[in-house]
Structure 1
Amino acid sequence: MLNPTKGLEMRSLQGKRFMIRFNHIIDRNRALQVCPWSFKKNTLVLSGVGVNENLMHVDLNWCEFFVHVPDLTLSKMTFDIASLIGNKIEHFRNIEVADSGRVEGTSMPIRVALNVTQPLFCSLRICTTLGETIVVSFSYEQLQNFYYLCGRLGHISKYNEDQFVEGFIYPWEDTSYGPWLKASLCDGGISVSIVELGNLDCV
């Protein structure tokens, strides 16, 4: 959750939108840079707002996540491959690379800006610059509420009553989406939390 050192002011706008005014620029920058944040296990989408912008027209469809790509060979754990995969998902932002030019660890955590109105990616077939085709799967750091039937953030699968019906099958037993899309904290990357399909403007 947001916990600014110098405090903040918040007011409701319309629908699920709010405006946050931070009392110090350092708190504001941290809130924008160290995301995604969460509130009651829902994704919180933040966006900086200019003084000449209409608060109701700010685009709140994008949020940055660490997307983990496991099971790659050492030769594939590079900035170029991370950039290729990140841009196939949505918009590649960055990845930490060691002095060797490769990513250290068993999983490659790629910082990616995702369109939160679209279903999550489970896997992709990627063609490298060398003409090689590889299939990569994904998990998402601090991923919280999403619907196992459609893979969209902000939706929750409400099956508590259904599970008592004879023959009930949990949604993830017949879908590409499920709890395995949540990366464990030991996978690496920056551990931060990920509101309701987002919607906080911050000034």
Structure 2
Amino acid sequence: MDAIVATFQPLWQSKNGFRLKNLGNHIVLFIFDSKTDVENILANEPWSYDNNLMVLQRYEADSKVENLSFNLTHFWVQVHRIPVRFMNKRVAEGLCETAGQVCHLQNAPTEDGGSFMRVRVLVDISQPLCRGRVIAFDDSREQWVTFKYERLPNLCYWCGCLTHSDKDCDLWIESEGTLPESEKRYGSWIKASPFNGKSKSVLSVLGFYASKATKQTGEHSQRPTLHAPVADKSN
């Protein structure tokens, strides 16, 4: 429990702090006084502890812990290899419906990352991660579109599940440790590089004359207003 506090106290930066209660079976109850802290923490999923995924679930006072389902987590999914002319919000979100439930949130909009599209998705971690999908064109051509997941913790490279490691996978155990590396369906390529939102990947530039007109308008608005002096005649 002390290690959990040491991990998340500097990450969450909770204004009023929080309390922990060990409920057993790898379940820890976090108690916050601030609703804002809770919303911020959930909005910034996924979180991991010791490089293993930590699944969060809201808990109401009258709920039973055993009824909670810890199988859904939000991820930012980067969609790579979309043809440039199809790189838009509608296409990216349509593709990501294969990976999970696309989230249409004001504070987490789909973004253009330059060479990829970035979509917020609620992923069912009881299933293997979706690696991507095939898209078809009108001329019968096909192309593979790749999914990469941001802040992805440890996962099984044999089957793509986040619920166990390579050595605990049924495929590995059934083979008695003889599966060759070439049988792995996943690799480090599924982990996306950190996204730098401050770096501008897409810019819109005004036309030459529109830009010049805007600049001139700005110059006129900044010029000081001149007033003719007024003589004050006192009796």
The TM-score range, normalised by the shorter chain, is 0.7 to 0.9
Task: Quote the Cα distance in structure 2 between the aligned partners of 1:104 and 1:38.
Answer: 24
Task: Quote the Cα distance in structure 2 between the aligned partners of 1:115 and 1:169.
Answer: 27
Q: Does 1:96 find its partner at 2:106?
A: no
Unaligned segments of structure 2, at least 5 residues:
1-7, 169-177, 199-235
Q: Which deviates more, 1-10 or 55-64? A: 1-10
Report matched runs for 1:154-165 at 5 Å: 154-158=163-167
Report matched runs for 1:174-185 at 5 Å: 174-185=183-194
Task: Quote the Cα distance in structure 2 between the aligned partners of 1:140 and 1:189.
Answer: 16
Q: Are the counterparts in 1 of residues 81 and 144 from structure 2 also a CA contact under 8 Å?
A: no
Aligned-pair CA distance for 1:154: 3.4
Aligned-pair CA distance for 1:23: 2.3
Task: Quote the Cα distance in structure 2 between the aligned partners of 1:53 and 1:133.
Answer: 48
Q: Are the counterparts in 2 of residues 126 and 134 from structure 1 also a CA contact under 8 Å?
A: yes
Give the secondary structure class of the aligned counterpart of 1:89: coil
Q: Which amino acid aligns with 2:133?
A: L
Change (3 A) 1:23 1:175: same
Task: Quote the Cα distance in structure 1 between the aligned partners of 2:147 and 2:184.
Answer: 15
Change (3 A) 1:96 1:108: same
Q: Which amino acid aligns with 1:60?
A: F
| Aligned equivalent of 2:90 | 80
Q: Does 1:32 find its partner at 2:42?
A: yes
Of 53, 67, 72, 2:63 maps to 53
| Aligned equivalent of 2:128 | 119
Q: Are the counterparts in 1 of residues 110 and 119 from structure 2 also a CA contact under 8 Å?
A: no
Q: Are the counterparts in 2 of residues 127 and 133 from structure 1 also a CA contact under 8 Å?
A: yes
Aligned-pair CA distance for 1:174: 3.0
| Aligned equivalent of 1:142 | 151
Task: Quote the Cα distance in structure 2 between the aligned partners of 1:128 and 1:15.
Answer: 49
Task: Quote the Cα distance in structure 2 between the aligned partners of 1:61 and 1:75.
Answer: 36
Report matched runs for 1:2-17 at 5 Å: 2-3=11-12, 4-17=14-27
Q: Which amino acid aligns with 1:12?
A: N
Q: Which runs of structure 1 show a deviation greater than 3 angstroms over 4 or more consecutive aligned residues?
A: 94-98, 126-129, 131-134, 187-190
Aligned-pair CA distance for 1:158: 4.4
Greater relative contact order (Cα < 8 A, sep 6+): 1
Structure with max Cα Rg: 2
Aligned-pair CA distance for 1:31: 1.1
Q: Which deviates more, 144-153 or 80-89? A: 80-89
Task: Quote the Cα distance in structure 1 between the aligned partners of 2:27 and 2:44.
Answer: 20
TM-score, length of structure 2 as denominator length: 0.65
| Aligned equivalent of 2:221 | none
TM-score, length of structure 1 as denominator length: 0.75
Q: Which amino acid aligns with 1:48?
A: R
Aligned-pair CA distance for 1:156: 2.0
Task: Quote the Cα distance in structure 2 between the aligned partners of 1:86 and 1:174.
Answer: 26
| Aligned equivalent of 2:79 | 69
Aligned-pair CA distance for 1:138: 1.2
Which structure is higher in strand share?
1
Q: Are the counterparts in 2 of residues 78 and 97 from structure 1 also a CA contact under 8 Å?
A: no
Aligned-pair CA distance for 1:125: 2.2
